[in-house]
Structure formats: structure tokens, C-alpha cells
Chain A
Amino acid sequence: MGLWGNVIFPEHHIDSLIDLEDEFIHPYIPNSVPSIKKEMLEAIGAKSTDELYAEMIPDRLLLNREMRLPEPLPDELGLKRHVAGILAKNKTTDEYISFLGGGCWQHYIPKVCEVIQSRSEFLTAYAGGVYSDQGRYQANFEFQSLICELLGMEVSGLPTYDWGAAAGNSVRMASRITGRKEILVPKNMSPARLSILRNFCSSVDPNGGIKITQVDYEDETGRVDLGDLESKLGEEIACVYFENPNYLGVIESEGAKISELAHAYGAESVVGVDPISLGVLASPAEYGADIACGEAQPLGVSMYAGGGSCGFIASRDEERYVAEYPLRLLSIAPTTVEGEYGFGQALYARTSYMAREKAKDWVGTTTVLWGITAAVYMSLLGPTGMKELGETILEKSHYAAEILDDIPGAFVPYRGFFKEFPVVFSKPAEEVNKQLLKYGIFGGSPLTDYPEMGQSALYCVTEMHNLEMIQRLESALREVLA
């Protein structure tokens, strides 16, 4: 263990190949070749880069010393061994059977998704225009088109960071559309997502924020308590935000009623969804959603330790909605050649790139590569694949719930879920998980923010789990809870 903590950095200089009397030629820096550097300096009539910096940055702000950093590993093999050596300390869901979900889910990634997202062109493009990047624009437009088909909507934009950011932007849109400053959200939404939402809704301006009021859920079903919802609705409510399936996996079977109640008070119905459910679940539009949002990571994007998140927002094609989006919205358009498709940005003046502090929230670099991956995924699965996948997930998750419910010391309170469900244990969920690790299993995430649910954890079962894996969980739990 060296100076730099637990990481074992190389002890000695990687030598003369790259470090000859101030000569430093690195494969990532072509003009580090001294003769070229000299030629360039001569061309501009300068003696050194130091001299150039001195003209731009005052001496008192210059570091004027070498940074104290670990010795580098400029040879690729050495670098690979070093970084891979650190990462090899991780365990993955490939090695363990994982039942973790809660906003990031393990699904099968069709190989074609990985091939397309690894293409140099998509991986390394950025902000080019449509004439250089027609293909990227079209792939983005297709993401919008395909996610709209699942959601029953007509407008979507480039993806945003994650479900939380999508929900945050969506409720702010609803607030601007209605001119109202209070929203209702279910009490059992994801605590992390709620935290993100609170940040989006708080304001320095005492009159500028959006008040978040939580609506109770029914103990027996895990669904929104319609009585409590109605009692909290009023003319001051901008929107009712709810999720389907909700954080605890439960299908909000009264979605139409919730939207109807919201609309009765002039509020918007904003629904967050896991789109992988939409081959079997009704689209949000079918039960009255005005704005839909959610998380596209299940659509072909690996988990990447949470780095696979990809939020989306969609709505009906009405100007009052479109005008409030913070996102870049790609529109299809004609070109000077008959029958050719071009693309460009609709109502670009709304975005922060144009309007700065007067913009609708803000937009920036988000998760567009994952949007392209999701487009490939939706194209591969098609309507039949989405339906079959949804059915498989329903069957396997319900099977798991049933056999876990049979275990003494385990109780599955809800039915009518999609791929996740809470399990209440006779022991603390953290303790159960510790034991399960010894069986090569990552148990569900403990629901520590839900004291009313007792010692519970959120279990996720998808198409990745086969019968044997589920049975291994069952037998391990029988022993752990015995």
C-alpha cells in the first residue's frame, strides 16, 4: 500500500521510452513531438508555451510546480492490467444471482444493441448538425417515435438523465401549464426519486417553489388510496404524479380513476412508467395521462452500476405542452429533394442554449447514446416481443412471489404487480441479505424508508431468472429464515 491509499500505484518511473530530457511523446498527443512543437512555435513567433501562458494568465494564478500525481502507465497493457486489477475486485450479477431492482433492473441485452451503441459514429458524435449527423438525428427521432408508440403519446424528446429528472421536469411542466404550485405524489414512490423531485420543486424564491404533498397508499394493495387522493385534490393542484408499476412493483389498476379525479380539478395527470411493461400493460394515454415519463434503461441498456439510467418525457402533441419541454425535441422535416427526410429542433428558443435563465428549466448533455440503444431494442422486440417479454416477466415474478410466500418467516403482501414485489421477513432484511450472499445471491434491496412495512425488501424478478435460480433463492431463504 503506497502513498495513495488502497490503490496500488506503480512505485517507480516508467522509464526512458517517453521521458527523455523533457521530451514527452504520448500516443494521445501528436503534437507532443518536440520538432513539431518547435515548428508550431516558430510559425506563431513564440518561444515557449510558458511564454504564451504568461500572456494570458497572471503569474500569481499559475501553479508553477508539477502536480503530485501517481506515476503514469503510458503503455496500454500496463494500464489495462492496473485498471482491470482494481475492477476485478467487484462481484457482478453475472457471478451472483441478483434480485435487485428499485430503479435499475437486470434485463437481457440483445447483442445487436451493444453492436450499435459501440459504433464509433454514435459513441463519439456530439453536437454536430444534421448535415454531418443525419443518421444520429434519425436514430434520435426513431427513439422518440418508438417510445411514443409504447406510451400512446405523440411528442417526446431526446432522453434526459434518469426517471427522477424526467419526473422533476414533468411536474415543473405541469406547474407552468396550469399556473399552479402544488403537486400530489404517492407516499410509496422511490425515496431517491422523491429526493430528486424535492430538489426540482424547491426554490430560493419563497413564492416560486412547488409544494409536494404525499398521498397515502392502501395497506392491502399498495395502490394509491383514492379517498385520500380525492381529499387532497383541489383547484391549487398542478398535477397528480403517480407511477405504474409503482416503486413497490404494484400495478395501479385504478389509473383511469386517478386521471379522472385529477382532471376534475383541472390538474394534469402525470404518470411515470417502466416501459418494458408496456407490451402487456395499458399505455398511460389509455388511462388519461397528459404527460408520461419514466426510465428507458430496461430497454436494452446494461446497468453499469447505475450508469445505464435514461429518463424520458412524452405528451400529447399540443402547443401548450410542447412549449414547456426543457428537452431538445427533434422534428422530422422535408428537404429540397422530394421524399427525403431531414430533421431539426422544434421550438428551439425554449431551451437554455437559447434562452439562458429565461429557458424552461435547463438542458444539457444527457443520455442520448442510451436512447439510440433503446430504439434498437424496441425495433428488435417489436409488438410481439414486447408482449411475450412482459408475459414472461409477469409469470416468473409471480411464481417467485408465490413460492417465497410459502416460506415460514416470509410474507408477500401484494399481488397484481409487474416485476417487483416487497417481501416481509421475520428477520431484518439486511441480515437476510448478508446470509444470502453466502449462497451467491444478492437479495432484494431493504425497504428501510418504509418502517410501516416492517422488515422488508424489494425483490425483482425478470426474464433473466430461470426456474432453477428462483428455486435456489427459495431454498436459501428457507435455511436463512429457519
Chain B
Amino acid sequence: MKIREYHAPRWNEPIIHELSTPGERGFIPPRSEPEIKKRVGQGSKLVPESMKRKEKPDLPELSQAQVLRHYLRLSQMTLGMELDIDLGVGTCTMKYSPKINEELAGMIKDIHPMQPEETIQGLLELAYEFGDVFLREISGMDAFTFQPPGGSAGCYNNALIMRKYHAERGEAHRDEVITTIYSHPCDAATPATAGYKVITLYPDPETGLPDTEALKEAVGPKTAGCFITNPEDIGIFNKNIDEWTGIIHDAGGLCSYDQANANALLGITRAREAGFDMLFFNLHKTFSSPHGSSGPGSAAVGVTKELEEYLPVPVIIKKDGGYVLDYDRPKSIGKIRDFMGNLPVVVRSYAWCMSLGAKGLKTAAETSMLNNQYLVDKVRKIRGVTLTYPAKRVDQARWSLEQMKQETGVGIADVNRRVVDYGIQSYFMSHHPWLIPEPFTPEPAETYSKADIDYWCAVLEKISEEAYTDPELVKSAPHNSSIHKVDWDGFNDPDRWAMSWRAYQRKQR
């Protein structure tokens, strides 16, 4: 296969402050009419003396075309999903976000969230029906909210429901939650933020399979519940997941299912049959809303009937043939996000589901799974790349370059810089800790064609060849990127890190 010659745009673009020319303007705000000024005087006089801004903020001064050019150049030096074969970024489900859905989401841009309900009936209807008709059937859960504004926020939301549920039942002493090391870090971090002690289970070291005996030993009278990602981040589906939820329930706990990346499961298997009490889907992953350089996203949280009363307020309900926002829910956890969450994300996800329907959603799932099997088959033949555990992977697999590192000195970070030279997005390595050494985790969602997968694998194969024949070429990469190798030494050094231009200026002196 012919590998493309590629070079990223390299603008050597200065920081915007460096482009400033005193006096230039990019925008003129509207001014008050004379009648207004006549009545109230100059605006600056309306600020109490003690709170007047003494010096203008040191923002840059640029004309409009110059601002536009600067940010267009920065966008060009960004390899968005739409420009490359972005299947390397596993646990992220980098699928296509249909362009028409941007236009549809834009239809709500001028809505204020506190408008009278009768003026946002379309929005409430769409959100309600998306939960009620689509997500309930897809998951088997009974009720949904879209208030959590991201996947981790959805996980946190579920930790708060768990906390409230046990407190309401007089069981606040249940202060332990259980997760697995290959569950996403949010399954540990968000219950910890809610005050839980986190017990992390490790898999069988030989097979990588979740260890049911370890779970049995971990549960007890203090168990509040579990937070489990399935398939786990390494791509292995826990076949005993229903037994796991049974063990947690027998101990008196609740079960939260991390279905952020449920892409290969749509129409295949559901949270209800697995025995979960609540779940979250990342609408910006599985349900196609664009990732936005890391948000705005949305977690659709689904719960069973028993937990519905704990959902954050407001909950959209149907009443008298219309839709209303219900705040009168005494057992609600309250709010975790202002207003109703990120509803443009919900609009896009609804449109995506309506385009696909039952058969299309299942085809998306099957195809993403098949793509991964096909990718696995190709990647395992590449020199220096190994799959740590033997089990079949569902939507993604966590690979290791340990062998390559030992044989050539070229490791995962080197290869990750080198892929960029071929116009491929740097892949996702792994969350920490790295139980699998030199890890990477590609996830070929249904968006990618066979030719895309072939190309991606051909690039990896080429870099493997380079590693074994000319390791310095890989170690000194990138060569065709927008920039060269970054000096990482200062990132943990208070004297050298700089999180703003003004801090950088001060430290440079």
C-alpha cells in the first residue's frame, strides 16, 4: 500500500499577544443611544469607585482579519477527526458526526434555558422522546436525564444518587465502592470526590479477565455499590457481569454501568439484562455528537424505576399533552449542572438515532466490532506489537510495544510522535497505571472503511520497519509535524511551567 507523503501546516504562529498592534480593533460593540446616556450618564461613572478597573486588561489589539487569520492557522495545525483516519484514539469512539446535525443543533442557539415552558415545547419534546423512546429501549433502563455535561459528570451524578439512596434508607455507613482497574478512571475518581473509599479489583494476571472471586472477597456490609466499565478499557467484555451485579445487590449495593463507549453493544446487549441500576452513555462518543476538542459533551444517565426519584432537577415530564420541567422532587440529588445540561448535544444524538433506526444502530455496533476484529488480525502480525491477554476484544484492544522497545529502543511515545508524520492522529495510549507496558489502544468505530483500516495498519507496519532498521528516525520524530519535539522537563517545575502568557513573560526575564 502506498503511504502518503504528508506534511502538517507549519505556521510558526506567534502567541496572539505577540501579534498585537496598539490601537487596532477587531470588533466594535454597540453603543447606547443618546437618550440613554442623557438619563444615566457615562457608563464608567455607574461603577462604585472602589470597583473601577484602574488599568485596561492587557488583551491583544488586532484588526478583525488578523484575529481570523491567527485562529484559522491554529485550526489548520490541528488534526481533527474529520481530516484523518482517527481510529487510534481508543476509549473515545472517534466516529463521524453528521454535518446536517450541526445545523439542527444550531436551531436552539438563541434559546434561553429559563424561557417559559410553552415556548420551548419542541426542545423538551425532543429531549423527552429521545430518552423515553430511544435510550430506554437501547439500555432497558426506565428514566433518563441529560443534565450531566460530560461522561465523568455522569459517573459523578451516579455516585451522588448512590449516596442519597443509602442515606435515605438510613444506610449512610455504606462508604465503600468497588471498581476494576480497567474501568475508566472516572469510575474511581468521581465516587472518591463524593467521599467514597474506592476498592479497585485487579484482573487475573494471565487472562486479564475480571476476577469474580476478588469481587466476592471485596463486598461486605460497607459496600455502597460498584462502578464498572464494560467492555473494559482494554476491550474485554466481562462475561460474568450479571453475576457481578448479583453479588453487589446481595450485599445491599447499587450498580452503576459505565457505558461511555457502548458503541459495539447497541442492540446487542443492555444494562438491564446485566442487572444494573443506573448507567451513563456519552452522547459525544457512542451517539455521534462531535468531541469539540474536549466538550461540550453530555452523559445521558439512565436509571431504574426505583431510582427515578433521585434524578437531578429539573426532570422533563409529560403533562396534559405537553412537556413540563418538574422541580418538585423531594428526593432528588438537586443539581450537578446549571439548567438542563448540554441540549445541543442531545439534538445531534437524536438526529443520529433517527437516521439509523433499530437496524442501523445494530449495524453500527456490529460493524465497529467487526472492524476491531479485522484490525486485531492485522495489527497482531506487525513486528514488535503484542496483545497482552488472549481474550477476544469487542470494540477496542490494548496493545503493547514492549517487545519493540526491548528489541529496538523505540517505545510507545516515539511511535506516537512518528504516526503524525504520516498524517495520522496520535493514538490513545492508556489511562494509568500502565499495567500493560508501552500500551496503545485503537478503536476502529463504524465510521472507518476497510481501506481506512488497511491504511492505518500500513502506517504502523512502516513505522515498525523503521524502528527495526533506523530507530533514530522514529526516536527523533516528528519530522513533518507543525512543531518539533517538545522539552517536557519544565512541566513539573514551578520555575519553568507557565500557564499563561503573562507568567511566561515573567519567568523568561
**In the bound complex, do residue B296 and residue A369 qualify as a contact, i.e. CB atoms below 8 Å apart?**
yes
Residues in chain A near residue B133, CB distance under 8 A: 4-5, 7, 69-70
How many Å lie between the Cα of A381 and that of B496 in the bound state? 30
Name A159's closest neighbour in chain B (CB-CB). Answer: B295
Residues in chain A near residue B503, CB distance under 8 A: 148, 154-155, 317
Given A31-B450, A142-B16, A40:B370 Cβ within 8 A: yes
**In the bound complex, do residue B51 and residue A399 qualify as a contact, i.e. CB atoms below 8 Å apart?**
no
State which of A69, A118, A129 has its C-beta within 8 Å of the C-beta of B357: A69
**In the bound complex, do residue A364 and residue B153 qualify as a contact, i.e. CB atoms below 8 Å apart?**
yes
Name A209's closest neighbour in chain B (CB-CB). Answer: B195
Given A74-B355, A382-B26, A365:B297 Cβ within 8 A: yes
Residue B383 CB within 8 A of the other chain = no
Instruction: Please tell me the number of chain A residues within 8 Å of chain B, measured between CB atoms.
Output: 224
**In the bound complex, do residue B67 and residue A112 qualify as a contact, i.e. CB atoms below 8 Å apart?**
yes
B108-133 vs A, Cβ < 8 Å mask (1 yes, 0 no): 11111111101111110110110011
Binds B, one of A119-127, A180-188, A212-220, A232-240: A119-127
Name A6's closest neighbour in chain B (CB-CB). Answer: B125
Residues in chain B near residue A211, CB distance under 8 A: none
State which of B35, B71, B337, B417 has its C-beta within 8 Å of the C-beta of A309: B337
Name A155's closest neighbour in chain B (CB-CB). Answer: B499
**In the bound complex, do residue B60 and residue A364 qualify as a contact, i.e. CB atoms below 8 Å apart?**
no
Binds A, one of B183-191, B302-310, B401-409, B462-470: B183-191
Residues in chain B near residue A40, CB distance under 8 A: 370-371, 373-374, 450
9 example contacts (A-B, Cβ-Cβ < 8 A) are as follows: A66-B362, A74-B357, A108-B30, A119-B72, A131-B482, A156-B500, A332-B498, A333-B486, A379-B70
**In the bound complex, do residue B48 and residue A52 qualify as a contact, i.e. CB atoms below 8 Å apart?**
no
Binds B, one of A260-268, A354-362, A474-482: A354-362
Residue A340 CB within 8 A of the other chain = yes
Residue B193 CB within 8 A of the other chain = yes
Residue B448 CB within 8 A of the other chain = yes
Residue B89 CB within 8 A of the other chain = yes
Residue B232 CB within 8 A of the other chain = no
Residue A252 CB within 8 A of the other chain = yes
Residues in chain B near residue A244, CB distance under 8 A: 51
Within the complex, what minimum Cβ distance (angstroms) separates B177 from chain A?
9
Q: Count chain B CB atoms within 10 A of each CB in A148, A204, A205, A252 and give the residue with the most.
A: A204
Residue B202 CB within 8 A of the other chain = no
Within 8 A of A (CB), among B149-178: 149-153, 156, 160, 163, 172, 174-175
Binds A, one of B92-100, B212-220, B246-254: B92-100
Residues in chain A near residue B290, CB distance under 8 A: 123-124
Residue B134 CB within 8 A of the other chain = yes
**In the bound complex, do residue B370 and residue A41 qualify as a contact, i.e. CB atoms below 8 Å apart?**
yes
Name A470's closest neighbour in chain B (CB-CB). Answer: B36
Name B37's closest neighbour in chain A (CB-CB). Answer: A395
Within 8 A of B (CB), among A409-456: 416, 433-434, 437, 442, 445
Residues in chain B near residue A62, CB distance under 8 A: 268-269
Given A69-B353, A392-B43, A306:B292 Cβ within 8 A: no
**In the bound complex, do residue A383 and residue B122 qualify as a contact, i.e. CB atoms below 8 Å apart?**
no
State which of A86, A193, A357, A391 has its C-beta within 8 Å of the C-beta of B122: A86
How many Å lie between the Cα of A44 and that of B74 in the bound state? 41
Given A125-B78, A309-B338, A344:B354 Cβ within 8 A: no
How many Å lie between the Cα of A93 and that of B119 in the bound state? 10
